[in-house]
Amino acid sequence: MNKIRILIVEPDKEPYKKKIPHTLKDMQKVVGGLIEIVELEYNVELICNEEGKIYNLPMNRAIQNDIIAGTFFIAGQHNGETISLSKKQIKKYKKMFKLSQDKALIDLLQETVKESSNLLDLRLVNVGNWREKIK
C-alpha cells in the first residue's frame, strides 16, 4: 500500500512528520472525522476535521482569518491528488506551525469562547498582524 509523508499538527503540541497509508480512511483517522481541504499555497493543502468547530474541538492554530479546531495535517497536492510533502516543505511548515507562533492568541481566544462556547461564529481579522505584535 502506498504511504504519504505528512506533517501532523495537534493542539498544544509541536508539529511532527509521519507516514500514513494513502487512503481516505487513514486521513479521516488523523483528523478524527470528515475531512475538509484548505489550500495553503500552490500544491500544498491543509486537511482538517470538517466538523471541528461544530463539535467544539480544541482550538489549534490560526490560519488566514480563522482558527482550525482539532488536529490537522499538511500534505502536498498535485493535480487534485494528495501527495507527500518534500523534506523542504516539512521544514518550512514545522517552522510556520510551531506551537509558540499561535499559543498566546489561542489562549486569549479560549478565554473569550468560554463564555459563548460557540466556535462556529469565531472569525479573526488581521491574524498576520497578531503574529507581528507578539514577536
pLDDT attached to residue 4: 96
Q: How far apart are alpha carbons 43 and 59 in whole angstroms? A: 25
Range of the domain at 24: 3-134
Q: How far apart are alpha carbons 71 and 10 in whole angstroms? A: 4
Give residue-wise pLDDT tens across range 14-57. Answer: 999 999 999 999 999 999 999 999 999 999 999 999 999 899 89
Give the three cell numbers for residue 79: 493535480
User: Cβ–Cβ contacts within 10 Å for residue 50, how many?
Assistant: 15
Q: Quick check: 110 pLDDT over 80?
A: no
| Number of domains present in the structure of the chain | 1
Q: Quick check: 129 pLDDT over 50?
A: no
- With 0.85 as the threshold, say if the pTM is over it: no
By DSSP bridging, strand 16-21 and strand 44-49 are: unpaired
Give residue-wise pLDDT tens across range 76-85. Answer: 999 989 999 9
